[in-house]
A and B are shown apart, each in its own frame.
Chain A
Amino acid sequence: MHRSVSLQGHSPGVIYLDRLYNVLIAGVGGQGNLLCGRVLAEAAILKGYRPTIGETFGASRRGGTVVTHVRIGDHDLGPLIPRGTVDMLIGLEPMEALRAAVDYCGERAIAVVSTAEVQTMQCITGTTKYPPLADILDVMSSICASVSPIDPVLALGETEYRRVLNSFMLGAALTIGIAPLTANGVRESLTGLMQPVGPNVAAFDAGLKTSVRV
């Protein structure tokens, strides 16, 4: 009946749970967001952790906002990252990265953001305007500890980037580091999960070669 919960808090100001690393992946349906989360979780399992993945995919097939919460820790935790406790934000789309930053990020958050915009239907039809990229990155910088914009089109080309954006962004995030995970570990997990393997591993390695500033 009595069970001890060995979750411990740390230094005041920055609040986190022992040996816990929170990754948030934000994008739109069709970008392989959920698979990205799975790759990180599998890599964490290989390292002996008990990750939890929270998925909001109600609209994933129809171009809506998709957010994946990956919590790498020792315990079965609730699937959603509490506000302000994101360690790494992987933005597969700039405006969705901002949305996730507004909702979840705080001063611990290191953000790696693809600058390739996915316009909304209303932007295409001219009813509303997509916010300027510079403004998005500026606000994100005020919310997060650091923001690193990356242009996947420049690195992979217009058609290729659409296919393997998720693997590329995982590589880019790992140049900064996702605390307990190694590039080799993530590559191994990615090889088992992403199809087709060749182009995804190549994109992951291309991501690792990007010069991401923190």
Chain B
Amino acid sequence: MSGNEAMSRGAIEAGVRFCASYPGTPSTEITESLMRSASDRGIYVEWSTNEKVALEAASAASWVGVSALCPMKSLGLNVAADFLLNLNLSGSGKGGLVIVVCDDPEGHSSSNEQDSRFYAKAAMLPLLEPSTGQEAKEAILYAFDLSRRHEVPVIVRSTTRLSHSSSLVNVGPLPQVAPATLSSFPRGLFNVPQPAVKHRELLSKIQLIAAEFEKSSLNKLNLGPDAKTLLISSGICQSYSEEALALVHTKNTGSLGLVTTNPIPTGLIANAMAGVERVLFVEETDPFLEDEIRSQYVGLSTPDRPRFYGKRTKTLPAWGEMSVDHVVKGLSQVTDLSHEMSLHGGLEARARGAKLLISRPLTFCAGCTHRNVYWALRQEKKRRGGQLVVAGDIGCYSLGVFYDETMNTMQAMGSGIGVACGLGQLGRFGFESAVVAVAGDSTFFHACLPALVNARHKNANLTFLILDNETTAMTGFQPHPGSAVQDKGQRRISIPDLVRAIGPDYMTTSDSVEIGPLIELIHTTVAKDGLRVLILKGICRLEQQRRGVSHEGLGKVSVNPALCRGEKCKICFSQFGCTAIGWLPTEKQATILDEVCVRCGSCIGVCPYKAIRQE
């Protein structure tokens, strides 16, 4: 099973009964696999509107004795942080509350590569960093136990390589499914009037937990008596360190793998370091352990402590993802071990190969209606001589940044409309660009409402495009409040009704399949003044495919060779760039690749010579 499935299994073995979450790579499968057991195991699982709501809901469950899990991606914890840094003082309940945060070093599927462990430090909460699928399952079980005993939330940190790799996991027994026993609602679930006292109480709990971590069997020391070098690693890096040691086959280097990393087990670390000359810290993304351990040794003279190496000494890179190769390289730098990876052909062949390679940049799917919207925005930008700024955010529509950089800004969930609130006030300073904000439907519910209210309240001058394909497409089609199909017991919330209630100066709902009318609608709307909202109904072709919707019955799309201007034009395939539009090198003309085409006919409106037709 994958690391994510292992964590889900751990939660079930620990008797989890409540899970609230918002999807985000690489964390999504934890909640999804829990959903598969939900009815059998009597677990309530929901996709909440955002991570803060999810954490609040999960905390409520734990307060009355219902064991709760709250998985999220790295960036999700930023959203939930406001609540987290109050919840730490209020405490969780007898049910136990485990927060799983999945970081994404290198940012494979994220807009940053943050190290979320600092939230555990900021909130002074216990933190576990498992290194394998097996350990991930065990860590979740232990986290629930710890949380229940101390009534504090416990954070388990995973990373992409743990969450998304698969290995054998030995499962444990499942608890009996019994009716939940509720504890009485706790008193004092607030931090006022003396948050400082609550802070002191939290510190006392953490002291007890620190003592427990010193003896935890999750931490592993492998150190011979004559070892002069010690690798201290956490999370997946523990397996990198072990493999690096095996690769360089050295006897005088040992390894300390830490799973309990906040509070750090200082006694265990001091014992491991005694008699060692050098320590190399191996961890995923920032020097979290390294700084913590360095800070405890500040002021001690050199004979009393080993030399420290890590990200701070540039022995290991302080950005990007860690790997066995990095550890081997770092290790050979700090010791006299010379290790050459056996690379046949070596650098020269690799350099020649690298020159041959071309990239495969991400692009919209064939027939994706997001492409149509950006195509229309590109036309509007041209008409305005470039005087149009598009502020966007997170979802499949983020691909707009790769589409002739049509999307100009892309940061956090909902930040497009927030940034536009500012841009929409800059006319008074002479800012002349028209302002457009873009958000998807799931993002709209997640984080756009406060900014949209702000835009209305302050009369910001902007156009807000809501690209509504009725699903959370980017992360695998999770339902949200606006989805067309809702689970039993859930009620659909209409985006148009919500927007209407806020009272924009102009609002309309339209289709985004036909290009011509879309270009005109965007043009006339952007030309207006005030707060304008366009709800553009879109279609996710992958979601359609999942539902088994066939386009076979639709007319075949083709290029009329008599009308295609070929090399003189190239608009359809080199600018519009639908993946279903190909190029015939001998005829020097465009062609429609029928095996890729979804027969939406959007490209018909793109050709200025009416050369594309549909049967």
Residue numbers of A with Cβ under 8 A of B are: 1-5, 7-9, 13-15, 17, 28, 38, 41, 45, 50-59, 61-65, 76-80, 82-85, 95, 98-99, 101-102, 106-109, 120-131, 135-136, 139-140, 142-145
In the assembled complex, the Cα of A117 lies from the Cα of B247 at a distance in Å of 36
Residue of B nearest to A78 (CB): B239
In the assembled complex, the Cα of A143 lies from the Cα of B573 at a distance in Å of 36
Query: Is B349 touching A7 in the complex (CB atoms < 8 A)?
Result: no
Asked if B582 is at the interface (CB within 8 A of a chain A CB), the reply is yes
Given contacts A59-B362, A64-B360, A143-B349, is CB(A83)–CB(B325) below 8 Å?
A: yes
Given contacts A5-B246, A76-B133, A80-B324, is CB(A139)–CB(B165) below 8 Å?
A: no
> Which single member of A52, A62, A124 contacts B362 (CB below 8 Å)?
A62
Given contacts A51-B167, A82-B341, A120-B358, is CB(A143)–CB(B323) below 8 Å?
A: no
Asked if B359 is at the interface (CB within 8 A of a chain A CB), the reply is yes
> Which single member of A17, A41, A102 contacts B353 (CB below 8 Å)?
A102
The interface residues of chain B lying within 8 Å CB-to-CB of A98 are 353, 356-357
30 contacts between A and B (CB under 8 A): A1-B219, A5-B246, A7-B243, A53-B167, A61-B542, A62-B363, A63-B360, A63-B363, A64-B360, A64-B362, A65-B360, A76-B134, A78-B240, A78-B323, A80-B324, A82-B247, A83-B341, A85-B247, A98-B356, A102-B350, A106-B343, A125-B573, A126-B574, A126-B583, A129-B358, A131-B357, A143-B343, A143-B350, A144-B344, A144-B345
Given contacts A28-B360, A82-B324, is CB(A5)–CB(B242) below 8 Å?
A: yes
Asked if B579 is at the interface (CB within 8 A of a chain A CB), the reply is yes
Query: Is A55 touching B164 in the complex (CB atoms < 8 A)?
Result: yes
In the assembled complex, the Cα of A107 lies from the Cα of B345 at a distance in Å of 8
In the assembled complex, the Cα of A124 lies from the Cα of B572 at a distance in Å of 12
Asked if B298 is at the interface (CB within 8 A of a chain A CB), the reply is no
Asked if B480 is at the interface (CB within 8 A of a chain A CB), the reply is no
- Please give 12 more A-B residue pairs, beta carbons under 8 A apart, in addition to A8-B246, A122-B358: A1-B219, A62-B363, A79-B161, A79-B164, A79-B236, A82-B325, A95-B356, A107-B343, A120-B359, A127-B574, A131-B357, A143-B350
Residue of B nearest to A138 (CB): B352
Asked if B328 is at the interface (CB within 8 A of a chain A CB), the reply is yes
> Which single member of B247, B325, B353 contacts A140 (CB below 8 Å)?
B353
Asked if B109 is at the interface (CB within 8 A of a chain A CB), the reply is yes
Given contacts A78-B236, A125-B574, is CB(A3)–CB(B542) below 8 Å?
A: no
In the complex, the 3 A-B pairs of residues with the closest C-beta atoms, listed nearest first: A107-B344, A9-B249, A79-B165
The interface residues of chain B lying within 8 Å CB-to-CB of A7 are 242-243, 245-246
In the assembled complex, the Cα of A125 lies from the Cα of B575 at a distance in Å of 9
Q: Kindly provide the distance from the CB of B242 to the nearest chain A CB, expressed in whole angstroms.
A: 6
Asked if B220 is at the interface (CB within 8 A of a chain A CB), the reply is yes
Residue of A nearest to B323 (CB): A80
> Which single member of A77, A102, A121 contacts B354 (CB below 8 Å)?
A102
